[in-house]
């Protein structure tokens, strides 16, 4: 969960509550940009806000429960302060908005994720925009909706929605079919971010490998992610480019070559495998086999030896037997990912798996399988990271925590380091070289070796 904090004056104030994926966080930053353009200022607490936006996630039941809990709390807040408007966006907003409006009458507007025109229409309609405020356009992307002082690392959505319909996933029902942003618009936004001191961008999409297929091109093939990376690689001031999430069935040879050859593109891929058993993969409707996944990893590692790989795994999918789980366990032990995000299956109403399969793996068994993978992965990550001890690594500094500076390497390793220079802004946004002194499965500690000039 995150929210923006700010100051007090006579302007109306907003508060944004965000849970879920990076896409939600990126969208919350954009909503904050629109509200700032409309004359709002950020509020430290929801209690002092005139406008509260919930940016929601329902990808797991636990996330949906948090959304419902927060909506309940806001009902009480609204009773005490009726002038406050509550808006809801994110994956909680399904196609049956009328039903949502009946269930939650204290919410003034439900709008689909990424549909900023609904938000701006509402601001106009309701008279809640203190400043004259034009509807979003390409020009406004350039000047209006980006933070005035973006952080050194920014998220940039490049494609909305998903066409895949994996059997367990609610995303295509809530975010709709894939829609790519025009390449020129993304370029314009990244140039603007770089001119405002952003050094690294992470391109976001539910499936970034689909980028461009829906963009009409009269002269040639539609653009793809490799084309976009090639254009962004030339943006002045930008020093790193990342992207997520990939779909293993869609990663192209062109993309692998682009990552291998473009100097600003980081050597890190998010490549969700989800299971290491072909029957389970088929029931998940993932569109690849274990053999194809393994082959893809071999090709990537052959072309980019320094690549770091993250993956996602779901344990306890309906019908997952002990042996099928062991196949997943063995694949993780074989591939040795840098990071594994593990989740226990929870049925999402409306999905294919919810309709067609019994959630018949007990929660005890799911928990046991989850724990086994967590332990395995902690050992693997500890082993991988320990090999970096003594190395000098290039770190882009993102901020300070508990008296230490922190940032990430090109391979997405989190590094903390001490520096006598703690004044705000002294290292922020800089590339520094850090000698790694201690490692753990999750992060590394080091000391400043040579301060660079970026």
User: Which residues of this protein are in contact with ligand SF4, per CB under 6 A?
Assistant: 162, 164-166, 169, 171-172, 206-207, 247
- Which of 343/376 has CB closer to ligand SF4? 343
When the beta carbons of 247 and 369 are compared against ligand SF4, the nearer one is 247
CB of 116 to ligand SF4, least distance (A): 21
Cα 137 to Cα 70, 185, 188, distances in angstroms:
32, 10, 12
* 8 A C-beta contact, residue 22 and residue 203: no
Query: Which residue, 28 or 164, is less far from ligand SF4 as judged by CB?
Result: 164
The 3-state secondary structure of 48-64 reads: HCCEEEEEECCCCHHHH
Shortest separation between residue 124's beta carbon and ligand SF4, angstroms: 32
**Tokens 């539910």 identify what position?**
206
| Minimum distance, C-beta of residue 172 to ligand SF4, in the bound complex (Å) | 5
Half-sphere exposure of 278 (CA within 13 A, CB side): 5
* Sign, Cα dihedral of 23, 26, 32, 38: negative
Min dist. Cβ of residue 23 to ligand SF4 (A): 10
* Cα angle: 90, vertex 93, 95; to 5 degrees: 135
Side by side, which strands form the sheet with 85-90?
Answer: 41-42, 13-18, 51-56, 85-90, 109-110
User: C-beta of 160: minimal distance to ligand SF4 in Å?
Assistant: 11
Nearer to ligand SF4, 30 or 174 (CB): 174
If the CB atoms of residues 139 and 356 are measured against ligand SF4, the closer one turns out to be 356
Cβ distance to ligand SF4 smaller for residue 164 or 180: 164
**Cβ at position 140, least distance to ligand SF4 in Å:** 28
Question: Which residue lies nearer to ligand SF4 by CB, 247 or 408?
Answer: 247
Give the strand pairing for 13-18 and 308-315. unpaired
Min dist CB 270 to ligand SF4, Å, is 11
Task: Report residue 44 as tokens.
Answer: 């430290």
Q: Are 359 and 320 in contact (CB under 8 A)?
A: no
Beta carbons within 10 angstroms of residue 95's beta carbon: 12
Q: Compute the distance between CA of residue 421 and CA of residue 35 in angstroms, rounded to an integer.
A: 35
């Amino acid at each position: 969960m995150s929210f923006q904090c700010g100051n007090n004056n006579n302007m109306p104030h907003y508060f944004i509550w965000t849970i879920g994926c990076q896409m939600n966080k990126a969208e919350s930053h954009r909503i904050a940009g629109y509200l700032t353009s409309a004359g709002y200022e950020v509020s430290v607490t929801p209690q002092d806000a005139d406008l509260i936006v919930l940016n929601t996630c329902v990808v797991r039941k636990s996330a949906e429960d948090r959304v419902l809990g927060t909506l309940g709390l806001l009902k009480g807040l609204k009773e005490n302060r009726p002038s406050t408007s509550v808006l809801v966006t994110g994956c909680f907003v399904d196609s049956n908005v009328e039903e949502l409006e009946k269930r939650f009458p204290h919410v003034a507007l439900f709008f689909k994720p990424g549909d900023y025109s609904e938000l701006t229409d509402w601001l106009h309609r309701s008279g809640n925009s203190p400043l004259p405020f034009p509807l979003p356009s390409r020009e406004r992307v350039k000047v209006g909706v980006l933070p005035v002082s973006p952080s050194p690392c920014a998220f940039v959505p490049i494609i909305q929605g998903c066409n895949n319909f994996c059997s367990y996933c609610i995303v295509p029902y809530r975010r709709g079919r894939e829609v790519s942003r025009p390449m020129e618009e993304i370029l314009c936004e990244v140039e603007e971010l770089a001119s405002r001191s952003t050094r690294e961008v992470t391109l976001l999409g539910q499936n970034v490998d689909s980028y461009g297929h829906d963009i009409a091109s009269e002269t040639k093939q539609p653009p793809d992610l490799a084309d976009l990376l090639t254009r962004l690689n030339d943006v002045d001031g930008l020093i790193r480019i990342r992207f997520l999430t990939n779909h293993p069935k869609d990663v192209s040879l062109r993309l692998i070559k682009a990552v291998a050859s473009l100097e600003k593109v980081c050597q890190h891929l998010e490549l969700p495998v989800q299971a290491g058993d072909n029957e389970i993969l088929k029931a998940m409707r993932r569109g690849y086999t274990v053999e194809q996944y393994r082959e893809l990893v071999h090709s990537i590692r052959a072309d980019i030896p320094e690549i770091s790989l993250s993956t996602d795994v779901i344990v306890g999918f309906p019908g997952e037997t002990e042996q099928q789980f062991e196949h997943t366990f063995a694949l993780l032990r074989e591939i040795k990912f840098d990071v594994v995000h593990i989740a226990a299956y929870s049925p999402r109403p409306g999905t294919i798996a919810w309709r067609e399969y019994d959630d018949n793996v007990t929660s005890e068994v799911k928990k046991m399988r989850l724990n086994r993978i967590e332990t395995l992965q902690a050992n693997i990550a500890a082993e991988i990271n320990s090999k970096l001890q003594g190395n000098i690594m290039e770190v882009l500094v993102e901020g300070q925590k508990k008296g230490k500076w922190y940032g990430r390497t090109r391979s997405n390793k989190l590094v903390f380091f001490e520096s006598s220079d703690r004044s705000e802004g002294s290292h922020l946004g800089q590339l520094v070289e850090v000698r790694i002194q201690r490692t753990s499965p999750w992060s590394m500690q080091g000391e400043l070796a040579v301060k660079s000039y970026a």
